[in-house]
Structure 1
Amino acid sequence: MAFKVIQPGMLALLQDLGRHGYQHLGITSGGPMDELAFRWANALLDNDSNAAQIEITFGMFTLEAQASTSIAITGADLRATLNDKVILPWQTYPIHKGDVLAFHQPRFGLRAYLAVKGGFLAQPVLGSVATVMREKLGGLTGAGDKLSKGNLLPFHATTQHQQRAVPRLALPNYDQVEIDVVTGYQFKHFSGLDRARFFSSTYTLSQHCDRMGYRLTGAAVGRDQKGIISEGIAYGAIQIPSDGQPIVLLRDRQTIGGYPKIGCVTNFSGALLSQKKPDDSIGFRYISVDQAERERHLQMARIHQWR
């Protein structure tokens, strides 16, 4: 009882909420780039919030069902089809043996999430199935491999299905340009001009964007900053290297680094950022830690109450 991979696409990875508690050993967390979309997909199916899903980047991914089940699709609109009929994200669908589910090139966003009733089945590595290719950890094989043609993705078959959709008010706006930033203790070391330039400039995503981090191009800041003693790196940290072009570090980031950091994108703004493509434009918006916490509590409470 599984889905068989017919076409592997550019990048399809098995993910759960991540591998936590090992950064002191140099092991990063991994997990879904768009956590909000991931959590909603599991909520739609009444799955455990950590149930494994497939993160599909840029589409061109095709599966064939070998048993009946119920699925949810959230995140980017990758022009998904079920038996060649167009289906939309942010809702559930019944699946029967022999059905073919395909994801094509993006209509909007970059990453979609495919959840199955009960979650995909894989053996955890260090407590998680999250795939981190750079560290050769997690995934279907446990060795950090991306999904490939012929892979069988096991699940518990079921004929039970409930038609559900995420409430319209809860849908994220992937066209949003502003990315929320919380400043850190190193922010005060940047000049007033650099701070103003950072928050008033428009940045373009470079071609060097992946699960490890997004490199940006635009107004240079902090060129006069000296390196710092290497220290632990949090999710969303915005490093400023010697060329002054910001780097936003994401799920597969390195665990330590010695570049100064002007701030940190919030969890759900990082999710919005992960749905942007190279050459898209963004701007940074300051918010306080209290505001960031309130936003996260609101999003989590909305999912909890919906469940």
Structure 2
Amino acid sequence: MIEVLSTFALNTVQDLGRFGSRHLGVGTSGVMDPLALTVGNILLGNPDDAAGIEIQTFPFELRFQVDTAFAVTGADCTATLDGRLLPPWWTTPAKAGQVLKLHPPKKGARSYLTLAGGVDVPVILGSRSTHLRSEFGGFMGRALAKGDVLRTAGGVGGPARLGPDEFGAEPADMALPPGASGETDSSDDTLPIRVLRAGEYELFPQEARQRFWRTAWKITHQSDRAGYRLGGEPLKLASRVEMRSYGIVAGVVQVPPSGEPIIQLSDANTAGGYPKIAGVVEADLWRLAQARIGSSIRFVDTTYDDAVAAMAPVDTYLAQIRRVVELYRQRPR
């Protein structure tokens, strides 16, 4: 069990998402950065989809009420246990009474706290994830607050399996730099995001299509877990288009009448009707999750084959962590 000592708005319990309920009008929810949560769970010996805490407002502070193990992944926040500085992407044992504090990150937008056995909250429609707008899932359907006490290890694969004394993984942004795809822009800090052209791409005039690719789009303050609204010179259709609503998944880039693109994310609605110009490839969704409000991204035109191939380095990265952790656990004590 853990007790929340200090938190700000929007920090929630999340797992990998709620699937198979879109026909009921229920979105996926789940973590914005699935790679970070998965790595944290691997380090602790949890199922990949065990629930953890997504922290996107800092500082965040808690007290352990029982002996357990935990990991902190995602954004490069400064994590301390009773004042002792912890390495990033690291699993550590904690004693009852010890206090963990996560400070504002040096880079990145969201940190993830995973606990041995996972966070024990009710499973609703197959997931423990919080959907704030619908007020269900997670811990009482809301963001965490000071004084909340969360149980761990119940109903997530049995008793907590404590991790090794001190062990970690190479952070994803170091192991999987954007340069691996040959799509970096060394002239500035603009983050390249690979996308596929979507159904209404050809409806936009050529000038608008070209501007979509060359613009450094700013993530505006009108952004949250539902979607990132981008700032830049508007994209306009040659003429108004009437569309039927269609299903939405994370990564769909819509263009509303304002002309400023919106990237749909974890808490997106299940359907929408704005023209869609592109879709973010699965391999770059975690990068997008770590892009801060106020930072800039640039879209990179990608083929279907390259989008599929882009997951290979991610899968290899996870497989290597699994292999090393398993070998470490089997070592003579």
Settle same-fold status: TM greater than 0.5: yes
Q: Deviations over 1:215-249 (max 9, x none)?
A: 00112213435241111112110010112110000
C-alpha separation in 1, matches of 2:33 and 2:203: 31
Select the residue among 180, 189, 199 that pairs with 1:185.
199
| Pair 1:212 & 2:223 matched | no
Superposition pairs of residues 239-250 of structure 1, within 5 angstroms:
239-250=254-265
Superposition pairs of residues 59-98 of structure 1, within 5 angstroms:
59-98=58-97
Superposition pairs of residues 254-293 of structure 1, within 5 angstroms:
254-293=269-308
Question: Following TM superposition, by how much is the alpha carbon of 1:47 offset from its aligned partner in structure 2, in angstroms?
Answer: 1.1
Greater strand share, 1 or 2?
1
| Pair 1:47 & 2:61 matched | no
Superposition pairs of residues 3-42 of structure 1, within 5 angstroms:
3-42=2-41
C-alpha separation in 1, matches of 2:219 and 2:246: 26
Superposition pairs of residues 29-178 of structure 1, within 5 angstroms:
29-141=28-140, 144-156=141-153, 161-167=164-170, 171-173=175-177, 177-178=191-192
Q: 1:180 to 1:160 in 2, by over 3 A?
A: closer
C-alpha separation in 1, matches of 2:36 and 2:194: 18
Q: Is the 8 A contact 2:7 2:57 kept in 1?
A: no
The range that moved more, 237-246 or 167-176, is 167-176
Matched AA of 1:65 = F
Structure 1 runs (4+) greater than 4 angstroms displaced: 157-160, 172-176
Q: Is the 8 A contact 1:4 1:64 kept in 2?
A: yes
Q: 1:220 to 1:305 in 2, by over 3 A?
A: same
C-alpha separation in 2, matches of 1:276 and 1:299: 18
Question: Following TM superposition, by how much is the alpha carbon of 1:153 offset from its aligned partner in structure 2, in angstroms?
Answer: 1.2
The range that moved more, 245-254 or 188-197, is 188-197
Q: Is the 8 A contact 1:83 1:100 kept in 2?
A: yes
Structure 2 unaligned spans of 5+: 154-159, 179-188, 323-333
Matched AA of 2:81 = L
Matched AA of 2:170 = P
Alignment: residue pair count: 304
Q: 1:168 to 1:30 in 2, by over 3 A?
A: closer
Task: Give the root-mean-square deviation of aligned CA atoms.
Answer: 1.8
Q: Deviations over 1:10-58 (max 9, x none)?
A: 3211111111011111110001101111111111112100111000003
TM-score (norm 1): 0.93
Q: Deviations over 1:45-76 (max 9, x none)?
A: 12100111000003211100011111111100
C-alpha separation in 1, matches of 2:312 and 2:134: 32
Structure 1 unaligned spans of 5+: none
SS in structure 1 opposite 2:220? strand
SS in structure 1 opposite 2:168? coil
Q: Is the 8 A contact 2:89 2:171 kept in 1?
A: no
Q: Deviations over 1:132-175 (max 9, x none)?
A: 1111221122xx21111111111245665342221367645596
TM-score (norm 2): 0.86
C-alpha separation in 1, matches of 2:162 and 2:54: 24
Identity across the alignment (%): 35
Aligned to 2:235: 221
C-alpha separation in 2, matches of 1:222 and 1:46: 49
Q: Is the 8 A contact 1:29 1:251 kept in 2?
A: yes
Q: Deviations over 1:72-125 (max 9, x none)?
A: 111002222111222232111111111100112221111000011111111101
